[in-house]
């Protein structure tokens, strides 16, 4: 499984109208990837795609579709929806997912989804939002957890990021493809975070970062140090 050359395999960003999805669309669109922004509302998706195209310029290959159409048109599915919508949406999209697709899940089960604090998380029976996703997709679809610790505010800028992306999956090929995509964002280093069960740790870090952002009025990210150069890409 290989993502290169850029743009050959479209990336559908499900729930791509929010800050996380549009930020990734902007960065990957700039890197030459073909992006389909998904939304529950086709018109909203097209508006978001037009805004991203305007930022990138005429070379941008960014379109907008309703989520299930976006899902059917791509085999790399980036999921950027709030935790409270994740399970129902995946159940709805399951019939549109083709065998061999990968779902890259950035969902953080923040307590704010049920009226709690954004600096706290909810317990998820499966262990993490990503593991919940893995239960809900067809068995021929791989789930990768990634991008939880990247600030959408910073993705929306033109500057390189100062952030690492930890990638967790039980499918090594899907994880490698995701690391390649992460490394296309300037300043981002992607690291193998091991099995999907480790997503529970990575998701929790986001709640910690949210608390720091509130206290210090910033856009915190993480850097992992001390590994040999071969660990970073
Ligand atoms: N924001 C960040 O800095 C950041 C960083 C890392 C990870 N994350 C995680 O990434 C995910 C998306 O973050 P975000 O800030 O972009 O979220 P968001 O703005 O709250 O939601 C993203 C999009 O999801 C769709 N959506 C909302 N509620 C839904 C529901 N109940 N069912 C289906 N779709 C729904 C909406 O699109 P439509 O209305 O157009 O369908 C919305 O624009 C979250 O799980 C978040 O924890 C966020």
**Ligand 1 centroid, distance to 19 Cα (angstroms):** 7
Site to probe by mutation for ligand 1, drawn from 27, 80, 154, 155 as the one with most ligand atoms within 8 Å of Cβ, is 80
Q: What percent of the chain is predicted at pLDDT more than 70?
A: 97
Decide: 113 in ligand 1 pocket, CB within 6 A. no
Compute the mean pLDDT over every residue in the chain, rounded to the nearest whole number: 96
Per-residue pLDDT tens digits for 147-174 = 999 999 999 999 999 999 999 999 999 9
Q: Would you place residue 187 in the very low, low, confident or very high pLDDT band (cuts 50, 70, 90)?
A: very high
Q: Would you place residue 2 in the very low, low, confident or very high pLDDT band (cuts 50, 70, 90)?
A: very low
Per-residue pLDDT tens digits for 47-65 = 999 999 999 999 999 999 9
Q: What is the pLDDT of residue 233?
A: 72
Mean pLDDT across the stretch 188-200? 98
Q: What is the pLDDT of residue 7?
A: 63
**Residue with more model confidence, 189 or 7:** 189
Q: Is the pLDDT at 192 greater than 70, yes or no?
A: yes
Q: What is the pLDDT of residue 215?
A: 97
Ligand 1: which atom is nearest the Cα of residue 149? 6
Per-residue pLDDT tens digits for 78-110 = 999 999 999 999 999 999 999 999 999 999 999
pTM (two decimals): 0.97
Decide: 27 in ligand 1 pocket, CB within 6 A. no
User: Three-state SS for 189?
Assistant: strand
Decide: 107 in ligand 1 pocket, CB within 6 A. yes
Q: What is the pLDDT of residue 5?
A: 58
Site to probe by mutation for ligand 1, drawn from 36, 82, 213 as the one with most ligand atoms within 8 Å of Cβ, is 82
Mean pLDDT across the stretch 211-226? 98
Q: 95-101 long-range CB contacts below 8 Å, 24 or more apart?
A: 96/68, 96/69, 96/71, 96/72, 97/71, 97/137, 97/138, 97/141, 98/72, 99/138, 99/140, 99/141, 100/75, 100/140, 100/141, 101/74, 101/75, 101/76, 101/77, 101/140, 101/141, 101/142
Ligand 1: which atom is nearest the Cα of residue 84? 31
């Amino acid at each position: 499984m290989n993502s290169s050359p850029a743009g050959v395999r479209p990336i559908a960003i499900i729930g791509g109208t929010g800050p996380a999805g549009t930020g990734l669309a902007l960065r990957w669109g700039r890197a030459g990837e073909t992006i389909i922004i998904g939304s529950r509302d086709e018109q909203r998706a097209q508006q978001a795609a037009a805004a991203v195209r305007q930022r990138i310029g005429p070379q941008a290959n960014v379109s907008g579709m309703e989520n299930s159409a976006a899902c059917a048109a791509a085999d790399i599915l980036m999921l950027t929806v709030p935790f409270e919508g994740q399970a129902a949406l995946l159940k709805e999209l399951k019939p549109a997912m083709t065998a061999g697709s990968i779902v890259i899940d950035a969902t953080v089960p923040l307590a704010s989804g049920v009226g709690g604090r954004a600096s706290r998380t909810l317990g998820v029976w499966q262990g993490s939002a990503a593991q919940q996703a893995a239960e809900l997709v067809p068995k021929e679809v791989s789930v990768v957890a990634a991008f939880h610790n990247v600030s959408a505010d910073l993705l929306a800028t033109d500057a390189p990021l100062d952030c690492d992306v930890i990638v967790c999956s039980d499918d090594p090929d899907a994880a490698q493809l995701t690391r390649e995509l992460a490394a296309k964002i300037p300043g981002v280093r992607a690291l193998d975070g091991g099995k999907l069960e480790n997503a529970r740790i990575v998701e929790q870090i986001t709640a910690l970062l949210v608390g720091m952002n509130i206290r210090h009025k910033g856009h915190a990210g993480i850097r992992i140090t001390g590994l040999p150069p071969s660990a970073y890409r």
